[in-house]
Amino acid sequence: MEIKKLDREKHFEEIEEKKRKRRERRALARSRKDELEREPLSMRKKRIYFSLLAALLIASAFNLYLNRALIVPPSPQESLTPEKALTEFDTLCIDIEEYKNEWGKYPESIEDMKFSPHLLYQRSGDGSFLLVYNDGQAEYRYDSSKDSDRIK
């Protein structure tokens, strides 16, 4: 009996010893983890991070430079088909007529209303105007003294 009691005690002591060693290892691992978290970045790591950041910024700037050089905005006259030009022309004529109805006279200039550089606007002495669109593909004319019933 005495032997079994001693074996049991020894067995429990071994278990307790293993538990103590596990607790010590956990405590040591926690302390190492805490040290690593509190440790400031070394100069070598700082240099690596800075060089990676600089390379990324330079590559981004270069990419942006290349993309801006490749992107060419379409010019208004290239994207204007004859059908669209006629629609825009008629709309502009209506806008000019509405301006006359509101202000009592035709505008001196249509620079703020122009949809294309191929427009020619002239006011005549009798108070009417002539609007001409000619881009080489299509030509449209509107004379307010003659064509007033065309645009309604």
The residue among 142, 94, 143, 88 whose CA lies nearest residue 117 is 88
Residues 66 and 96 in one domain: no
In terms of residue numbers, what domain contains 40? 2-70
Residues 9 and 65 in one domain: yes
Residues 59 and 101 in one domain: no
**Residue 148 covered by a domain:** no
User: What is the tens place of the pLDDT at every residue in 126-147?
Assistant: 777 788 888 777 788 887 777 5
Residues 123 and 101 in one domain: yes
pTM: 0.44
pLDDT score at 112: 67
Show the low-confidence residues of the chain (pLDDT under 50). Answer: 77, 151-152
Residues 35 and 9 in one domain: yes
* Residue environment code for 91-100, b if the CB has 16+ CB neighbours within 10 A, otherwise e: ebbeebbeee
**Residue 23 covered by a domain:** yes
**Residue 76 covered by a domain:** no
Residue 16 Cα distances to 4, 9, 10, 20, 72, angstroms: 18, 10, 10, 6, 78
**Residue 152 covered by a domain:** no
Residues 86 and 60 in one domain: no
**Residue 47 covered by a domain:** yes
Number of domains, the chain: 2
